[in-house]
Amino acid sequence: MKTRYSDEFRREAVGLVLESKSSLVHVAKDLGVSTWTLRGWVKKQRERTGLGDPQRSETLEEENRRLKRELGVLRQERDLLKKAAAYFAKEHL
């Protein structure tokens, strides 16, 4: 069964994707909408307003920066956990 979303909901969802620093996947998950559905709404909006590749590449660059920051944090957490595991392993010997 197809879910019918109001035009207002669609506009607000597209606005969240275009104006926020969150990824399309994250916004779709938060709203409970299929990623492909939201991607289609965004594509239609970009076609209507004439926003093409420049906006998309800018969004990809922002997402790339965010992912690099997250990767750095995850590496730090991983290294800390390795050190803690080694410390506790020595303690039990």
pLDDT tens-digit readout, 72-90 = 999 999 999 999 999 999 8
32 pLDDT more than 70: yes
- 2 is written with which tokens? 């197809």
- Helix ranges (H only) for the chain are 7-19, 24-31, 35-49, 53-91
CB contact set of 29 (below 8 Å; sequence gap of 6+): 35
The Cα angle at residue 80 between residues 79 and 86, in degrees rounded to 5: 90
Q: What is the mean pLDDT of residues 2-12?
A: 87
Alpha-carbon distance 1 to 61, whole Å?
37
pLDDT of the residue at 81? 95
pLDDT digits (tens, 9 = 90+) for 36-66: 999 999 999 888 887 655 555 567 888 899 9
pLDDT of the residue at 3? 78
pLDDT of the residue at 31? 92
